[in-house]
Amino acid sequence: MIDFHAHLDLYTDPKTIAKEIVERGMYVLSVTTTPSAWKGTSALATPGSRIRTALGLHPQIAHERVGELPLFDLHLHETMYVGEIGLDGGPEFKRYWQTQLTVFDHILNACRLAGGRIMSIHSRRAAPAVLDRLVAFSGAGTPILHWFSGGKRDLQSAVALGCWFSVGPAMLVSEKARALVRDMPRDRVLTETDGPFAQIGGGSAKPWDAGGATTQLAELWGDMTEEETDRLLHANLRRLVAI
Ligand code: MN
């Protein structure tokens, strides 16, 4: 099972969650929202675990944490994974748009200079702008658009740009999202939860709830069993990491 976007450090008891991830043999991309969270969060990925930690600076707090960009640059050589990064065009964050752009551009440029990274990207109400920045900083690495909610045409542009997608059970309850997922190339899809932010059944999603997304993908795609779908997702992950 794969959860390619979870905020392990934001659970009430991250160590217990990390322990269960290891017991289940799960692959987890543990994303961070601030460079100052990098050290403590990467310590949750105990040696031998399949937890990988991503260095991030979340667009919704870019205006509060722009001062941590030097810390971002300092840690970038310690990981192949960057996230959560991106842009948020929602009305409550639009007033910080210029700062969001400064932060996102800085990070993409740093990734490009470092030879490229696997990036978990937030694009809520900002898909065209995110894609525009990815074009401007081509060479930043492999973008994985997490919980993509743009329009059909944005999706086509993202696919043409080489983007991947991570989709979760909370996202897949929406018919609009399901229609988008049908148009994503199957060989560039991974599962995620966005826990503990995402809610499932009235509670915070746990990394192992990603299995629900595998079930839903098998249903959506229609011509593969759940086991075959799971095998495809793992093959996708292996290919992504080998890029
Ligand atoms: Mn997230």
User: For residue range 117-148, what is the model confidence (pLDDT) as tens digits?
Assistant: 999 999 999 999 999 999 999 999 999 999 99
- pLDDT exceeds 90 at position 99: yes
Q: How far is CA 27 from CA 68, 114, 236, in A?
A: 28, 25, 12
Ligand 1 centroid from CA 122, angstroms: 7
At residue 80, φ and ψ (nearest 5 deg) are -90, -5
Ligand 1 centroid from CA 224, angstroms: 29
Cβ–Cβ under 8 Å, residues 232 and 224: yes
Ligand 1 centroid from CA 194, angstroms: 5
Whole-structure pTM value: 0.97
Q: Where are any strands of DSSP class E within the chain?
A: 2-6, 27-31, 51-54, 81-86, 117-122, 141-146, 164-167, 189-191, 199-200, 203-204
The share of the chain scoring above pLDDT 70, in percent, equals: 100
- pLDDT exceeds 90 at position 243: no
Mean pLDDT (whole number) for 70-81: 98
Tell me what pLDDT residue 201 has: 87
Tell me what pLDDT residue 184 has: 98
Helix extents (H) in 25-151:
38-42, 62-65, 69-75, 97-113, 127-136
Ligand 1 centroid from CA 20, angstroms: 20
d(CA 184, CA 182): 6
- pLDDT exceeds 90 at position 242: yes
Report the chain's mean pLDDT, rounded to a whole number: 97
